[in-house]
Structure 1
Amino acid sequence: MFARNKKDQFAELLHEMTVNLKEAADYFSSFSLEKPEDVTVFSETINNYESKGDRFVYQMIVQLNDTFITPIEREDILELTNRIDDVLDAMEKAALSFEICHLSKFNDVITKMAAEISGATDEIATAVDHIFTKKLKLINAHSKKIKQHESACDTLYREALLTLFQEEQDPIRLIRYKTVYENLEEIANFCEDVSKTLNSIVMKNA
């Protein structure tokens, strides 16, 4: 159950982690390629968000090691921390794949999948804040919305692959876009993993 005396430090750090995640996802979904070198700027910027996320993970581990009583089980805090970090890691991987695959523009599929991912991170940020304000009953609704965003990405991914293999004649271009689509789908899957961890926390503490 919740231990009020040690709540704030963990709540603040997890909040900062989700803000960083949300800012990364917003940048990811709003960025527009206008010239070839833009994709390098995009990749480097996402890498900066990921590096900042790694620093938050380190701070969380230090705080967990230094704190005897935690607001919820320390294993749950660490699990949630790691799952949030997984999303950022996957985002960095996807951004790097854009650079490696020499994308010259973001097509409709990429734009739509990125928007769904951004929506999922919105829900993650709100749900995580609810943990430490004792609004656990509200978390499930946000988890369902995360799953809806993931399902939308899954649909876009399947449809994009179908179209790609039916219409693309250039094998190199096919491999490039297949790689990009797979990496975007992976981000959405990691968002769903966050929702599963949130649901587990609700079950343990409701």
Structure 2
Amino acid sequence: MFFNRSKDSVFYHTLVEAAGNIVEAMQLFRQNVETLEHKEAYAEKLKDLENKGDEFTHIILRELNQTFVTPMDREDIMELAVKLDDVLDGVEACASRFVYCHVEKTTPYLMQFAELLEKVAEFLQEAFIALEKRDFASIQNIVVEINLLENQGDRLMRESVGSLFEDPTDPIELIKMKELYEKLEEVTDHAEDLADVLESVVMKYA
């Protein structure tokens, strides 16, 4: 049966921990975006969390290799871990871009993206806690919320990029901010991809 062996807890505990790591990363990212005054320090902290996320993925992979009977299909477990890692990698890449692209001041659009991503992360954490409890109804509701946030991310990207072309004065600034806004929207896409996997898991095992 699904979720009825003590060995299963290793997989679900690790996935929940990985999701919690993303919540912490998004909180730091939002704090960073508030001023960008200490972007180098925040980039280092986010890199540390990204490395921690890699460790969670390695734990999942090791347990899959050592476990004969898994609580879900191996492919599903691995895909959940990989998609979690994609979300974390995406936001860490954005924090790094603040540094090497020399982004010196924040914008209202950066703040809106940061707040949106923090909400996304909180929903993802709730979803994995629900998965461990086999609370499939909650997961389905959370998937809807994440999809709505991804739609907001699409709209925010269009508005933010569009604003850059309203009165362009510095082409270099335009290029780097356009790339950042598009990269941030891509993180919401990764979250939606993860939500799609969660939804497929619910359909398969509910």
What TM-score comes out, normalization by structure 1 length?
0.95
Unaligned ranges ≥5, structure 2: none
Contact 2:127 2:139 (C-alpha < 8 Å) held by counterparts? yes
Contact 2:36 2:106 (C-alpha < 8 Å) held by counterparts? no
Supply the distance in 1 between the matched residues of 2:114 and 2:204 (Cα, whole angstroms).
32
Contact 2:80 2:197 (C-alpha < 8 Å) held by counterparts? yes
Contact 1:25 1:118 (C-alpha < 8 Å) held by counterparts? yes
Q: Report the RMSD for the aligned CA atoms in angstroms.
A: 1.2
Match of 2:20 in 1: 19
Q: Quick one: which amino acid aligns to residue 177 of structure 1?
A: M
Q: Quick one: which amino acid aligns to residue 35 of structure 2?
A: L
Unaligned ranges ≥5, structure 1: none
Q: Quick one: which amino acid aligns to residue 33 of structure 1?
A: T
Answering whether residue 51 of structure 2 is matched by residue 51 of structure 1, we say yes
Match of 1:42 in 2: 42
Give the direction of change, closer, same or farther, for the CA distance of 1:136–1:92 in structure 2 (3 Å limit).
same
Contact 1:117 1:150 (C-alpha < 8 Å) held by counterparts? no
Shift of 1:168: 2.1
Matches within 5 A, 1:140-179: 140-179=140-179
Tell me the number of residue pairs that the alignment of Structure 1 and Structure 2 aligns: 204
Q: Quick one: which amino acid aligns to residue 163 of structure 1?
A: S
Shift of 1:41: 1.2
What TM-score comes out, normalization by structure 2 length?
0.95
Match of 1:117 in 2: 117
Deviations 1:21-76 (A, max 9, x none): 110011111223363xx121121111111010001101110011111111111111
Supply the distance in 2 between the matched residues of 1:2 and 1:151 (Cα, whole angstroms).
33
Match of 2:72 in 1: 72
Q: Quick one: which amino acid aligns to residue 103 of structure 2?
A: L
Match of 2:11 in 1: 10
Supply the distance in 1 between the matched residues of 2:157 and 2:44 (Cα, whole angstroms).
25
Match of 2:204 in 1: 204
Q: Quick one: which amino acid aligns to residue 22 of structure 2?
A: L
Answering whether residue 98 of structure 2 is matched by residue 98 of structure 1, we say yes
